């Protein structure tokens, strides 16, 4: 064999000697898999090896092309031998009867065309320097070529509705009816496979299974990753588009953060040649996902894995041949194992980067910090060991910051979720936290929900210009006042939550006294004891039915052990949010005392305080209702108002308790 090389092509002069079946038999029949050096090794995970000099024997049977060795080839049947060198170069040789038309030419003529170079060579060009993209990702696009996905809408709808009538050739022919470029040909094949072929979990778990034939895949509409990749390659070749199957390691179903890879490859995907460059895609992962709890497959189309930018594809796909990374510089297996794994939803939801960039984080003084940058305001949440506890997550205009405090020494699992434009939170990041120290003084309330502190989201919900922009409020005497602007037509509700003390569901709002003047609300807070508390803020539109919606919370911190504030007085429905209470603020009054009252009440005719006796309140020049009452012989004291001077019906607006004598 003589090879002649130039910069653009390789020409081969070769003498091929073919012996008849009878002559081969005379020398002994060694055509079984174990004897044939070209038989494909079957790997666990179903991945076919294509590497150093491995040959594939293919037998054409109608529309079926599969990778099994034909143990007994009839002399009149065409045989095809495909060989690869260690650089991935492919050589295909046909052995066919003298007068028969070469089968490959038949296949190529059935398709509209097969791309070739300027010398007419039809073998796929191997990836080179012009195919490589710069690593790390330059944030320019999720795709390896400019795409307007809206232009695919009609094409996608058409492709997803095409049904199998007979064989693979007819299916591809039907799909190509609406495809007018190589890109569109690849797109319709991709869409059809992603919407019709189900991942066969049982077959994927078999150790020594047979390769999936395209005819079997079409019949059962099930396969494993090898079958997805093989079917995609076959359909592309029928459509006249250069395509290769790429085996390698993946961070897919069953992947554990920080694990190492060795031995057999566990996955396969494809490379397609479009507009002078190679591009990567994975129809297995584009079709749906496997639930780790039930091990069941669900169709859930994922656009991310179509012509993915190589600098993003390498995060969960490591090919057997580094050239198929399509990167400069290429990544080592060690880098692949250690690099942070951003799930596809990380990019689908508009994330750009995350720090730390390693999957394993060691806490410093019992604390770890994670930040995420996004291209637009995004809602986040987290779970530490499956619970939404032990962290402070604050939203930023373009991202978030999370301070996490593991409750125990050891290894912990941290998951971060993002909402994006949909109503569903999706897992976008996973970290392994290693904690060797716990700061007991930083223990957070279990009821501290996410997010903490005001943000773009609270502003979007009608809360603006807060008096405390930071999520943590420190108070030395156990009291604080928080205020913020409120949009017209918005009602605000607040509650206080702590892990210790007598706070119950009934009293959660009694340590907060809320007033509203003009378009600004004020929350006066008194803590029942020292400690950490979650001050939760809820809103709803007044004219709309439904419940209040949680917006954010503050973390209130007090270390003064002498703090022991009582609850505020209980307010009733007729207490308007624009009313103001100056005194008494304590909901528990001393016994046998004269207690002064001072309130600002709007739209009333008369006001009084009722205990053992009744004491009227008078309106002063500043617009406050003033007066006093004596608590002798009382257990409870009420503030009552008359809204209409023509009526005699008084309404309760405030209730106080009196200490036992």
User: Domains of the chain, with CATH numbers?
Assistant: 133-322 (3.10.620.30), 345-442 (2.60.40.10), 456-558 (2.60.40.10), 570-658 (2.60.40.10)
* Residue of 294 and 327 predicted with greater confidence: 327
Name the token pair of 476: 């030395």
- DSSP three-state, residue 535: strand
Integer Cα distance of 468 and 554 in angstroms = 9
**pLDDT higher than threshold 50 for residue 24:** no
Which pLDDT does position 99 carry in this prediction?
A: 45
**pLDDT higher than threshold 80 for residue 174:** yes
- Residue of 266, 282, 316, 403 marked active site: 282
Integer Cα distance of 200 and 378 in angstroms = 35
* 267 annotated active-site: yes
* Residue of 337 and 123 predicted with greater confidence: 337
CB count within 10 Å of CB 188 equals 25
Task: pLDDT band for 348, please (50, 70, 90 cuts).
Answer: very high
Which pLDDT does position 121 carry in this prediction?
A: 41
- DSSP three-state, residue 220: helix
Task: pLDDT band for 644, please (50, 70, 90 cuts).
Answer: confident
For the chain, the straight-line distance linking the first and the last C-alpha, in angstroms and rounded, comes to 113
* 131 annotated active-site: no
Name the token pair of 140: 């320019």
Determine the average pLDDT of the residues in 488-517. Answer: 82
* 613 annotated active-site: no
Task: pLDDT band for 14, please (50, 70, 90 cuts).
Answer: very low
Exposed e or buried b per residue across 538-564, where buried means at least 16 C-beta atoms within 10 angstroms of its C-beta? bbbeeeeeeeeebbbbbbbebeeeebe
Which pLDDT does position 636 carry in this prediction?
A: 94
**Between the ranges 87-91, 92-96, 440-444, 528-532, where is the mean pLDDT highest?**
528-532
Q: Which helix (H) or strand (E) holds 382?
A: strand 380-384
- Residue of 196, 267, 390, 497 marked active site: 267
Exposed e or buried b per residue across 349-384, where buried means at least 16 C-beta atoms within 10 angstroms of its C-beta? bbbebbeeeebebebeebbbebebbbeebbbbbbbb
Which pLDDT does position 661 carry in this prediction?
A: 64
Cβ neighbours of residue 639 under 8 Å, at least 6 residues apart?
569, 597, 599, 607, 608, 609, 610, 652, 653, 654, 655
**pLDDT higher than threshold 80 for residue 34:** no
**pLDDT higher than threshold 80 for residue 358:** yes
| pLDDT tens-digit map of 47-73 | 223 332 222 323 333 333 333 323 333
The DSSP secondary-structure symbol of 495 reads E
Integer Cα distance of 391 and 367 in angstroms = 9
Q: Are 217 and 46 in contact (CB under 8 A)?
A: no
Determine the average pLDDT of the residues in 477-504. Answer: 87
Which pLDDT does position 136 carry in this prediction?
A: 87
Residue written as tokens 């079997």?
A: 216
Which pLDDT does position 123 carry in this prediction?
A: 65
Residue written as tokens 């569903």?
A: 424
Residue among 169, 220, 193, 230 nearest 40 (CA): 230
* Residue of 250 and 78 predicted with greater confidence: 250
Which pLDDT does position 502 carry in this prediction?
A: 53
pLDDT above 70 covers what percent of the chain? 79
- Residue of 66, 96, 196, 225 marked active site: 225
**pLDDT higher than threshold 60 for residue 116:** no
**pLDDT higher than threshold 90 for residue 301:** yes
* Residue of 291 and 426 predicted with greater confidence: 426
User: 472-474 and 549-558 as β-strands: parallel, antiparallel, unpaired?
Assistant: parallel
Integer Cα distance of 280 and 327 in angstroms = 12
Task: pLDDT band for 518, please (50, 70, 90 cuts).
Answer: confident
* Residue of 13 and 40 predicted with greater confidence: 13
- Across-strand partners of 281? 270
**pLDDT higher than threshold 90 for residue 515:** no
Q: Are 164 and 171 in contact (CB under 8 A)?
A: yes
Can you give the pTM of this predicted structure? 0.75
**pLDDT higher than threshold 50 for residue 327:** yes
Give CA 107 to chain center in angstroms. 42
**pLDDT higher than threshold 90 for residue 79:** no
What Cα–Cα distance (Å) separates residue 410 from each residue in 46, 224, 402, 509? 37, 37, 20, 37
Integer Cα distance of 182 and 161 in angstroms = 20
């Amino acid at each position: 064999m003589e090879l002649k090389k130039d910069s653009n092509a390789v020409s081969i002069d070769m003498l091929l000697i073919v012996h008849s079946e009878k002559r081969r038999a005379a020398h002994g029949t060694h055509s079984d898999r174990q004897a044939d050096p070209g038989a494909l090794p079957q790997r666990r995970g179903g991945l076919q090896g294509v590497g150093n000099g491995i040959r594939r024997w293919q037998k054409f049977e109608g529309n079926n092309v599969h990778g099994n060795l034909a143990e007994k080839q009839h002399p009149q049947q065409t045989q095809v031998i495909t060989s690869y060198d260690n650089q991935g170069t492919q050589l295909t040789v046909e052995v066919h009867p003298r007068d028969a038309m070469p089968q490959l030419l038949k296949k190529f003529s059935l398709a509209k065309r097969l791309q070739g170079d300027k010398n007419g060579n039809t073998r796929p060009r191997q990836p080179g320097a012009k195919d490589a993209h710069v690593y790390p990702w330059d944030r320019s696009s999720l795709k390896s070529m400019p795409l307007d996905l809206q232009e695919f809408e009609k094409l996608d709808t058409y492709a997803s509705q095409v049904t199998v009538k007979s064989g693979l050739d007819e299916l591809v022919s039907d799909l190509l009816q609406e495809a007018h470029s190589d890109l569109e040909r690849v797109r319709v094949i991709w869409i059809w496979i992603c919407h019709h072929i189900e991942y066969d979990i049982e077959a994927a778990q078999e150790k020594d299974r047979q390769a999936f034939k395209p005819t079997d895949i079409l019949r059962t509409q099930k396969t494993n990753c090898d079958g997805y990749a093989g079917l995609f390659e076959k359909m592309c070749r029928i459509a006249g588009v250069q395509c290769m199957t790429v085996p390698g390691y993946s961070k897919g179903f069953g992947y554990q953060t920080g694990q190492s890879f060795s031995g057999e490859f566990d996955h396969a995907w494809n490379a397609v040649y479009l507009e002078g460059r190679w591009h990567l895609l994975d129809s297995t992962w584009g079709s749906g996902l496997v639930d780790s709890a039930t091990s069941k497959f669900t169709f859930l189309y994922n656009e991310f894995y179509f012509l993915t930018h190589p600098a993003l594809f390498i995060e969960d796909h490591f090919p057997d041949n580094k050239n198929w990374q399509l990167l400069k510089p290429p990544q080592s297996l060690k880098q692949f194992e250690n690099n942070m794994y951003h799930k596809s939803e990380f990019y689908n939801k508009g994330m750009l980067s995350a720090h730390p960039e390693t999957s394993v984080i060691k806490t410093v003084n019992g604390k770890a910090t994670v930040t995420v940058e996004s291209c637009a305001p995004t809602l986040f949440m987290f779970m530490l060991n499956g619970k939404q506890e032990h962290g402070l997550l604050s939203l930023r205009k373009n991202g978030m910051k999370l301070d996490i405090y593991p409750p125990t020494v050891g290894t912990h699992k941290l998951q971060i979720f993002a909402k994006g434009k949909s109503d569903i939170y999706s897992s976008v990041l996973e970290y392994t936290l290693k904690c060797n120290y716990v700061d007991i003084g930083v223990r957070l309330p279990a009821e501290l929900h996410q997010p903490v502190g005001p943000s773009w989201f609270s502003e979007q919900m009608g809360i603006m210009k807060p008096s405390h922009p930071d999520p943590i409020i420190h108070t030395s005497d156990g009291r604080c006042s928080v205020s913020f602007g409120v949009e017209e037509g918005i009602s605000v509700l607040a509650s206080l939550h702590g892990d210790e003390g007598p706070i119950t569901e009934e009293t959660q709002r009694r340590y907060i006294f809320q007033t509203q003047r003009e378009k600004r609300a004020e929350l006066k807070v008194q803590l029942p004891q020292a400690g950490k508390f979650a001050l939760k803020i809820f809103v709803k539109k007044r004219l709309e039915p439904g419940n209040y919606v949680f917006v954010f919370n503050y973390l209130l911190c007090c270390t003064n052990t002498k703090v022991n504030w009582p609850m505020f007085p209980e307010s009733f429905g007729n207490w308007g949010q624009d009313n103001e209470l100056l005194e008494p603020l304590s909901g528990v009054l001393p016994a046998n005392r004269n207690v002064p009252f001072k309130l600002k009440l709007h739209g009333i005719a008369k006001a009084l305080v009722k205990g053992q006796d009744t004491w009227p309140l008078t309106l002063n020049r500043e617009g406050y209702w003033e007066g006093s009452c004596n608590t002798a012989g009382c257990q409870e004291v009420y503030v009552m108002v008359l809204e209409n001077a023509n009526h005699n019906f008084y309404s309760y607006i405030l209730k106080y308790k009196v200490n036992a004598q």
